[in-house]
Amino acid sequence: MTTTRVRVPRAQAPGEGERARLAAVRRYRVLDTPPDGAFDRIAALAARIFDVPMATVAIVDSDRVWFKAAHGLAEDVTEITREPGLSASAILHREPYVVRDTGRDARTAGHPLVRGEAGVRFYAAAPIVTAAGERLGTVDVLDTRPRRPTEGQLESLRELAALVMDELELRLSAIRTVAAERDRRAEAEHLARTLQRTLLPPALPEVPGLDTAAAYHTASAQEVGGDFYDLFPLDDGRWAFFLGDVCGKGASAAAYTSLTRYTLRAAAIYDPDPCAVLRNLDSVLKREHQGDLPRYCTAVFGLLTPLPDGSCTLTLAGGGHPSALVVRADGRVRAVSTAGGQLIGILPAPRFVQTTTRLAPGDSLLLYTDGLTEARLPGGAMLGEDGLTRHLSAAGVHSAAELLGSVETLLHHLGEGVGDDTALLALSVPAHPEIRTQEHR
C-alpha cells in the first residue's frame, strides 16, 4: 500500500461535529452558486503547482461533494456522491490528506473518480477550515498516474485552501453587509412612513355642504417629505385649511414640518385672518429654528365661509406657493392667484398676498405642492400650471373625489417624471339636484 499522510492526521470520530460543520456550510451560502473566476483561478493554480491535469475546490454537503470549481474535469461533472476515500475522508483530517496511488489503496479504489472515466490514480487535498475549526470542504489535486508530492507543494495546497476560506469570509461579510443595509433601509422606510403619518391629519373631517379629498404621494419611500396639509373647524362656523411645502427632507425637515403645521393651527385660532396667520408662522419659524441650514417653507392658507344659498366664500393667502385652481361647474379652470407672496421663515419682512373667490354649487378647488407642476412630461418639459390646467379642463370633473382621482391618474402616467413629493387637497361644493339632472340629460 502506498498511501502517505503528512504529519500524522488526527481523525475525528464518525459524526463528531457534523451538525456544526453542515451548519457552517449553510452559513457561507456557497452551495449551488454559479461559477466564479476567483475559485476557478485557485483550482487552476493548484493544478499548475502540482503539474497535474485536474484540481477542484470542493464543498462537502450532507450527501454529496459539490464542486465550486473543477479544473480539468468534464463540464457536466459538478458534484459526486459523498463516498469515502477522497474529499469526504479528507475533511476528517487537520492536515493535507494524500493518497499516492488510489488504485492500490482500499479506501479509494472503489471511488467513482478512481474507477470511472476520470481514472484518478493520485489524490491530495487540504481542508478548507473556518476560524472556528469547521471543515467546509477541500482544495484537491488529482492525476491519472501515481505520484509523490513534495512538502513545498503540500504547503502551497494549504495556502490555497486558506485563500478559499478568505474568499468565502469576504463574500459572507458582503452578504451580511447587504442584508444589514436592506434591513436598515426597510427600517428607515418604516420609520419614514410612521413619521410621515404624524405630519398629516389621519382623515379629513366632515364639512357640512362640502366634499373633500386629499392625498400624499412620496417620491422616495426612504425619506420623509416636507409637504403638509390640514382642514379643521373654527369656533365661528368657518373652516380653515392650508397646504404647503417645507424645503428639504429627512428628520430635520420633518421636525420643521411638524412645527409649521401646528403653528398654523394655533395661529388660525388666535387670529384667523389668512395674512395674519402666515405672518405669525413666519415669526415663529424664525424664532424657533436653530439649525445651521436655512429653513423655509411655502404655504397657502384659506378660510371657507358657508353661505345660505349653498355656495361658500374662500379667502386665500399665499406665501411663495403655487396658485390654487378652481374648476367651475361648466368645466372652465381658473387660477386663484396669490402671486407676489414670498417665502416664509427666511426673509426679513416677507410680503403675503390675499385674494377672495366664491365656490358655487358644482365648483371645485385644488391645492397642490410643486411636486405636481414640476413633474416632467415624456419629452422632458415640466408639466407646469398650464399643463395642469389643460389636463383638468379636459377631465370633466364634478366633485372633490373626481378632481383628486384625475390628478392622481396624471401622476401615475408621469411615473418617473415625478421627482418630488406631492400633496393634494381638493374641496368641492355639490351641485344642486336640478343641475345634476341637466348634466345627465
- C-alpha span between 397 and 113 (Å, rounded): 77
Q: Which of 144, 176, 208 corresponds to the end of one domain?
A: 176
- C-alpha span between 292 and 397 (Å, rounded): 45
Predicted local distance difference test score (pLDDT) of residue 299: 96
In which domain, by residue range, is 117 found?
3-176
> How large is the average pLDDT for residues 381-400?
93
3-state secondary structure of 17: coil
- C-alpha span between 106 and 118 (Å, rounded): 18
- For 94, counting Cβ atoms within 10 Å of its Cβ (0-12 exposed, 13-18 middle, 19+ buried), the class is middle
Cα-based distances in Å from 73 to 56, 126, 179: 9, 19, 35
3-state secondary structure 90-134: HCCCCCCEEECCHHHCCCCCCCHHHHCCCCCCEEEEEEEECCCCC
Residue from 418, 381, 405, 376 nearest 218 by CA: 418
> How large is the average pLDDT for residues 378-405?
93
- The band of 1, judged by pLDDT with boundaries at 50, 70 and 90, is very low
Give the pTM.
0.60
- C-alpha span between 301 and 318 (Å, rounded): 7
Q: Which of 176, 211, 237 corresponds to the end of one domain?
A: 176
- The band of 438, judged by pLDDT with boundaries at 50, 70 and 90, is very low
Judged by average pLDDT, the poorest of 41-50, 162-171, 224-233 is: 224-233
User: If you ran DSSP here, which 8-state letter would residue 344 be given?
Assistant: B
pLDDT at 406 over 60: yes
Q: Which residues pair with 334 in a beta bridge?
A: 326
Residue from 395, 252, 250 nearest 325 by CA: 395
- Residue-wise pLDDT for 111-148, tens only, equals 888 888 888 999 999 999 999 999 999 999 999 999 99
Predicted local distance difference test score (pLDDT) of residue 415: 87
CA pseudo-torsion sign 207, 208, 210, 211: positive
Scored b (16 or more CB within 10 A) or e, 327-346 reads: bebeeebeebebeebbbbbb
- The band of 15, judged by pLDDT with boundaries at 50, 70 and 90, is low
- For 363, counting Cβ atoms within 10 Å of its Cβ (0-12 exposed, 13-18 middle, 19+ buried), the class is buried
- 189 in any annotated domain: no
CATH number at residue 71: 3.30.450.40
Angle, vertex CA 152, rays to CA 150 and CA 158, nearest 5? 110
User: If you ran DSSP here, which 8-state letter would residue 33 be given?
Assistant: P
- For 18, counting Cβ atoms within 10 Å of its Cβ (0-12 exposed, 13-18 middle, 19+ buried), the class is middle
Residues 386 and 284 in one domain: yes
pLDDT at 228 over 80: yes
Q: Which of 176, 210, 236 corresponds to the end of one domain?
A: 176
- C-alpha span between 309 and 209 (Å, rounded): 10
Contacts of 98 (CB under 8 A, 6+ apart): 3, 4, 5, 6, 123, 124, 125, 149, 154
- 307 in any annotated domain: yes
Predicted local distance difference test score (pLDDT) of residue 9: 37
Predicted local distance difference test score (pLDDT) of residue 292: 58
- 188 in any annotated domain: no
Residues 84 and 147 in one domain: yes
Scored b (16 or more CB within 10 A) or e, 391-416 reads: bbeebebbbbebbbbbbeebbeebee
Single-letter residue type at 344 = I
Residues 257 and 336 in one domain: yes
- 169 in any annotated domain: yes
H-type helices in 127-273, by residue range? 151-198, 251-270
- 53 in any annotated domain: yes
pLDDT at 366 over 80: yes
For residues 35 and 43, is the Cβ–Cβ distance under 8 A?
Answer: no
Predicted local distance difference test score (pLDDT) of residue 168: 93
Which of 220 and 328 is assigned the larger pLDDT?
328
Residues 138 and 267 in one domain: no
Residues 203 and 261 in one domain: yes
Contacts of 321 (CB under 8 A, 6+ apart): 243, 244, 245, 298, 299, 300, 338, 341, 369
Residues 244 and 341 in one domain: yes
Residues 150 and 110 in one domain: yes
Which of 136 and 183 is assigned the larger pLDDT?
136
Q: Please, what is the average pLDDT of the chain?
A: 87
- C-alpha span between 359 and 36 (Å, rounded): 69
Residues 222 and 160 in one domain: no
For residues 77 and 113, is the Cβ–Cβ distance under 8 A?
Answer: no
- 256 in any annotated domain: yes
Judged by average pLDDT, the poorest of 144-148, 167-171, 217-221, 241-245 is: 217-221
Single-letter residue type at 100 = R
For residues 194 and 222, is the Cβ–Cβ distance under 8 A?
Answer: no
pLDDT at 175 over 50: yes
- 57 in any annotated domain: yes
CATH number at residue 227: 3.60.40.10
Indicate the number of domains in the chain: 2
Predicted local distance difference test score (pLDDT) of residue 54: 93
- C-alpha span between 105 and 43 (Å, rounded): 25
Contacts 24+ apart (CB under 8 A), 268-272: 268/232, 268/234, 268/240, 268/301, 269/234, 269/235, 272/234, 272/238, 272/240, 272/303
- The band of 46, judged by pLDDT with boundaries at 50, 70 and 90, is very high
Residues 346 and 246 in one domain: yes
pLDDT at 177 over 90: no
Residues 122 and 263 in one domain: no
Residues 23 and 122 in one domain: yes
- 193 in any annotated domain: no
- Residue-wise pLDDT for 53-100, tens only, equals 999 999 999 999 999 999 998 888 888 888 888 888 888 888 999 999
Residues 81 and 113 in one domain: yes
Predicted local distance difference test score (pLDDT) of residue 370: 93
